[in-house]
Amino acid sequence: WLLTAFEPFGGATTNASREVLSQLPARLGDLELRTATLPVAYERVFDAFLEHFRDEAFAGVLLLGEAKGRRQLSLERYAHNLKNTLQADNDGRRFEEAPIRAGGPAAHATPLSLRPLLDALWREGIPAGISHDAGGYVCNTLYYQVLDYLQTNEPSIPALFVHVPATPAQAAGNAAYSSLSTDLAKRGVEVLIQAMRAQTTAL
């Protein structure tokens, strides 16, 4: 399985998704986990993903990103064909109402059924919910490009994007941020991988 996270952005020195990634084991039961940190850059992120994805045959892809305003792990159902944010990426680029792929579908949906994944997280007491909006920043851009690529080239490989809240250290002193401990987020990712695997092998 391939798991990705993002580098820090917006002047921050940490990224909650990368913190989770750094805590994951190399193996989860009989599953080998490969991890990669990707750039927060609209024009470079997908090529960076492909560099890792093409290394070997993966059974599934789990993409992680940071969303400091979220209170729980957010399982993203859709990626929209839209780049739209006032915040510049780490290359200094920003977009307003711009398509990710001109002429592409307005949105792509993960092929996974999200409710069983959510139930698996809830059984473990992990705060989680389903989201229908991955935003307009680099997270959504990567998700759209990955789903677009897999549907055409590797339709049997499932992919899911999950937004992770800020770490407690990131949220300290900022009332606008919610937080989730890295340990709990890490456990949530492990539960998700197992639940995704069970669902895909049953298809």
Catalytic site positions: 76, 139, 163
| Whole-Å CA distances, 19 to 35, 79, 95, 105, 129 | 12, 23, 27, 33, 20
Amino acid letter, 34? R
Alpha-carbon gap, residue 78 to 76, rounded angstroms: 6
Q: Could you tell me where the DSSP H helices lie in the chain?
A: 16-23, 45-53, 114-123, 138-153, 168-171, 182-202
Distance CA 16, CA 52 (A): 21
